[in-house]
Amino acid sequence: MTLQYRDVTLRDGLQLVGRPLPTERKVQLVRELFALGVEHIEVGSMARPDLVPALADTLDVVAALTPDERDRVWVWVATPRHVERAAAAGVRNFQYCFSASNSHNQANIGRDTETSLAAMPDAIAAAAEVGGSVQLCIATSFTCPFEGEVPLERFARILDDPRTDGAVDVVVCDTLGQAHPAEVRERVALAASARPGLGVVFHGHDTWGLGVANAAAAADGGATVVDGALGGLGGCPFAPGASGNTALEDLAFAFRPDWLTPDAFGTLVRLGEEITTTLGEPDRSRARSGARSRAKAFPWVVGDTPD
């Protein structure tokens, strides 16, 4: 199966920023990314707005989208009540997320992993009532900022838990960006073999400079979708040591999806520059740095200069 891409700028990418991105610009960005060829977009979260204020307008973003656009966007949820509220606003794709490690789940969601697992059937049922889809999203699939390495057996037990039945995908998250390619390949392959009827999404961070390498290893292991954010934005406010997501520009340049022409790549680079500048954040994309080089004979170099 051809590898697909999900942009997570509007959820994970905004969790740590200090400036807001206007709702209208978020909606426009969704449409610009879809026009380029990006297959899926994570548009926000049902997390408490006082904890993650940059995502407080998630349902306003969803309301501004067309039904066809809503079919291709995902919203982060952590409880059945999140699903119910989001479904009432028109959301149909729900990323039900909890952590493999109890400590991070407690910090991030306010409950232990078992409580989140026990509630997942109700979340799946709530989504089914509106014809929706639920992803099983396993944060800290590799390491936890409080507990260290997450044993493979703990990850495997979640995959085997019957309370996750009804999910359409497994999202394997390198929340801290501390994983290396061999273990990414191993855990993604385990997810693919343990849940053969589901898609596998790899959500990586570039903290240790292995974002693209880990995404390639995930694809080798059977991932069907990889996550990235413009300019390498992102990070978890409840995970000390986490940095930005793997840059969407870097993933696209490395893997060359069918929709990526030099012109489309230039547009992607400019979008990343614009969004990071608006937010007052650094643009961490390595491909962007190359695109702004003086190697004019290389067709992927962007000809103009940023404002």
Sign (positive or negative) of CA dihedral 161, 162, 164, 169: positive
- Torsion on CA atoms 41, 47, 49, 51, rounded to nearest 10: -120
Q: Does residue 238 register a pLDDT over 70?
A: no
Decide if 234 contacts 8 (C-beta within 8 A). Answer: yes
- Please give the CATH architecture assigned to the domain spanning 4-249: Alpha-Beta Barrel (3.20)
C-beta of residue 225 within 8 angstroms of C-beta of residue 257? no
Q: DSSP readout, 184-247?
A: HHHHHHHHHHHSTTSEEEEE-B-TTS-HHHHHHHHHHHT-SEEEEBGGG----TTSTT--PBPB
**Averaged pLDDT, 79-94:** 97
Query: What does the pLDDT read at residue 241?
Result: 67
Tens-digit pLDDT profile for residues 6-47:
999 999 999 988 888 999 999 999 999 999 999 999 999 999
Residue 60 — very low, low, confident or very high, per pLDDT cuts 50/70/90?
Answer: very high
Report residue 114's pLDDT band, with 50, 70 and 90 as the boundaries: very high
Specify the pLDDT at position 1: 58
Calpha distance 306→289 (Å, rounded): 11
221, 203 Cβ separation under 8 angstroms: no
The whole-angstrom separation of Cα 307 and Cα 302 is 13
Q: Which of 137, 144, 173, 236 is catalytic?
A: 236
169-173 vs 133-139, strand pairing mode: parallel
Average pLDDT, the chain: 95
**What is the model's pTM?**
0.96
**CA separation for the pair 288, 281 (Å, rounded):** 14
Give the pLDDT confidence score for residue 235 in this predicted structure: 79
pLDDT digits (tens, 9 = 90+) for 152-210: 999 999 999 999 999 999 999 999 999 999 999 999 999 999 999 999 999 999 999 99
Contact yes or no for 263/300 (Cβ under 8 A): no
Domain map (residue ranges) of the chain: 4-249
Has 236 been annotated as catalytic?
yes
Percent of the chain with pLDDT over 90: 89
Q: Which amino acid appears at position 36 of this protein?
A: L
Is residue 236's pLDDT more than 80? Answer: no
